[in-house]
Structure 1
Amino acid sequence: MLADPTIFKHNGMYYLYGTKNNPNIQGEGFLVYTSADLENWEGPAGAHDGFAFKKGDGYGDTGFWAPQIFEHNGKFYMAYTANEQIAIAVSNSPLGPFTNAGNSIPFNGKQIDPFVFFDGGKIYLYHVRLNEGNRIFVAEMEDDLSAIKPETLTECVHATKPWENTQNVPWTVTEGPTVFKNGSLYYLVYSANDFRNQDYAVGYATSSSPFGPWSKDNNSPFISKQLLNYPGTGHGDIFYGDGGDMYYVFHTHFSNIQVDPRKTAILPITLQGETLAVKPNAEIMWLH
């Protein structure tokens, strides 16, 4: 269905976005599907030919990856990757069309996988920089979301654990950050290994500050091929259901021998004390 998925909930409706992975749908950009119950999905339902953001609506020519949707000051925003840069578009509706003036967040290198996080009156951009591997960074943003404050740029994590580099490659990968706060503790949920690797998996780290230092959890990865008996489990986002239940939406490989088109799945997750884990006896929900 979609790779690098995210689900945004608004007024009782769930909106699913992600990296387009269906060659039968023409066009480039970000499709959106809708559901009232997380089981029955309709779409693509975006305002621009099924797309919430379609190539030409703003910044980007190619490589439309990994969107995140958030509401801010009465508008809906989409942070996304295109041309291996990060841009932010705005809309009056979760269905779009999301638009911008054709600008990206200024940076001289390559940056992908944005996650905008609001905390204590400040706005933070978690993202991946392609510098000696895919490394997750954070920086405080300007109030108008136009740029980061360079003096605040801080590396969060890169691959150091055996599970994060199962093929022992020189260019290691940590990516797809999602951040949430529980009490005074910050959680950074991320994926590691190349997405084409069957061992692509999800772990997390915790910190008492949005800048870190981050302590990687010893139980990571908590979503993996070993747990689900399905390859390529990762790069998703956390969202909450009607009753406040926590979920992680992510993608898997198409099969044990084929990466694409990737499948979209949901798992109920929970905090057991300060430990993030898949909910006991949870069943994987496949989105079709």
Structure 2
Amino acid sequence: MTLTTTCRSLFLFLAAALLPLAAQAANPVFPGADPHVAVFEGKYWAYPTHTPDRRAQFHAFDFVAYSSDDLVDWKASEPILKIEDIDWIKADGAPNHWLWAPGIAEKDGKYYLYYSVGPQNPTPSRIGVAVSDRPDGPFKDIGKPLLTGGDGFEAIDPMVFQDKDGTAYFYAGGSAGAKLRIWKLKPNMVELGEEITVDTPPNFTEGAFMHEIDGTYYLSYSHGGWNNPNYSVHYATSSSPVGPWDYQGPILNSRGRFQGPGHHSFFQHPKSGQWYIAYHYWPSKKTEPPLTGLRQCAIQPVTFGSDGKIEKIVPTRGGPEPAPLQ
């Protein structure tokens, strides 16, 4: 090899090394828990439960939204719903209320934010709903609970799935009662219609989520204790959004510093068709409960086998590659 060739090779190597690398998301992508991620108005939008700490820039009881153009860079909104603005909660007189586990839906240009309200003693568990003209709010509560728990049923963890025929299904329940219930929503999206009697799938604890691909309905949910390393994501399939369920097993478990992953959502890039999962985890290597600290949210791509089954998801620090929507 001549000196000229050597110099040329060295130049090309250095030039390549100096080229800007494509940005890639690193998990965690934003703080919090129970993230519901969806695509609205040409952006990714994420709605998590916020975990308060001394670094938090938001009040412990407010919801905020995160938005991104590419899954890599996320920007937090101003608070989109404040607990102090929900009159029926203030009227309870019960101490230490909080909001958690938001779910989002859109219909005819309106955005509907469903959320859990606690404590469950002395007041029962309840689910509220607030409405906005924008995905980043502000949202206005409808003035009363959408659903109230009781008789062993905990009204928590709302999720709305809109089927291809336009029917909106409302999923809720779990935790100590570990019972799944499903209703049809009325067209106005803020009233429950007919309740559909369904079986609770195996290993169901809470956090139901529904998505559909080519006529197969995927009901996924969390199993285990919310602050336990056994917290995990399982799923079942059906030819209907209301079952019967064909249990498929776990797809996301603790690994390394990703302990207790769960309370997730699935979402899809509208052009490429790529599916993703968003979930929370505890950044800890502790393998005994209770897990403590601040939960974080991660996003990873999802793959499916030739039989349509979801392949196991391995928690990793590497987040999704940039996936612009425009």
Cα deviation for residue 32 of structure 1 reads: 1.5
Matches within 5 A, 1:55-74: 55-58=83-86, 60=89, 62-74=97-109
Structure 1 residue 121 and structure 2 residue 162: aligned? Answer: no
Match of 1:190 among 221, 246, 252: 221
Which ranges in structure 1 are unaligned for 5 or more consecutive residues?
A: 160-172
Normalising by structure 2, report the TM-score. Answer: 0.74
**Structure 1, residues 82-131: CA drift from partner, whole Å, max 9, x if none?**
1331122111111111112321114352301111111223211011146x
Identity of aligned residues (%): 30
Cα deviation for residue 283 of structure 1 reads: 6.2
Cα deviation for residue 248 of structure 1 reads: 0.4
Residue equivalent to 1:103: 144
Cα deviation for residue 12 of structure 1 reads: 2.7
Separation (CA, whole Å) in 2 of partners of 1:224 and 1:82 = 27
Matches within 5 A, 1:1-288: 1-24=31-54, 25=56, 26-27=58-59, 28-43=61-76, 45=77, 50-58=78-86, 60=89, 62-83=97-118, 84-109=125-150, 110-119=154-163, 120-129=165-174, 133-159=177-203, 174-217=205-248, 220-226=249-255, 230-241=258-269, 243-257=272-286, 258-272=291-305, 273-278=307-312, 284-285=318-319
Are the aligned partners of 2:252 and 2:314 in contact in 1 as well (CA < 8 Å)? no
2:251 is aligned with what amino acid?
F
Residue equivalent to 2:5: none
Are the aligned partners of 2:160 and 2:169 in contact in 1 as well (CA < 8 Å)? yes
Are the aligned partners of 2:182 and 2:195 in contact in 1 as well (CA < 8 Å)? no
The RMSD of aligned alpha carbons is 2.4
**Structure 1, residues 15-36: CA drift from partner, whole Å, max 9, x if none?**
2211111323342121222221
Which ranges in structure 2 are unaligned for 5 or more consecutive residues?
A: 1-30, 91-96, 119-124, 321-326
Number of residue-to-residue matches in the alignment: 264
Are the aligned partners of 1:234 and 1:251 in contact in 2 as well (CA < 8 Å)? yes
Separation (CA, whole Å) in 1 of partners of 2:197 and 2:174 = 11
Are the aligned partners of 1:198 and 1:232 in contact in 2 as well (CA < 8 Å)? yes
Separation (CA, whole Å) in 2 of partners of 1:100 and 1:239 = 26
2:212 is aligned with what amino acid?
K
Q: Relative CO higher for 1 or 2, CA cutoff 8 Å, sep ≥ 6?
A: 2
Normalising by structure 1, report the TM-score. Answer: 0.83
Are the aligned partners of 1:81 and 1:114 in contact in 2 as well (CA < 8 Å)? yes
Are the aligned partners of 1:156 and 1:212 in contact in 2 as well (CA < 8 Å)? no
From the superposition, tell whether residues 97 and 243 of structure 1 become closer, same or farther in structure 2 (CA, over 3 Å).
same
Separation (CA, whole Å) in 1 of partners of 2:143 and 2:253 = 37
| Structure having the larger proportion of residues in strand | 1
Structure whose CA Rg is larger: 2
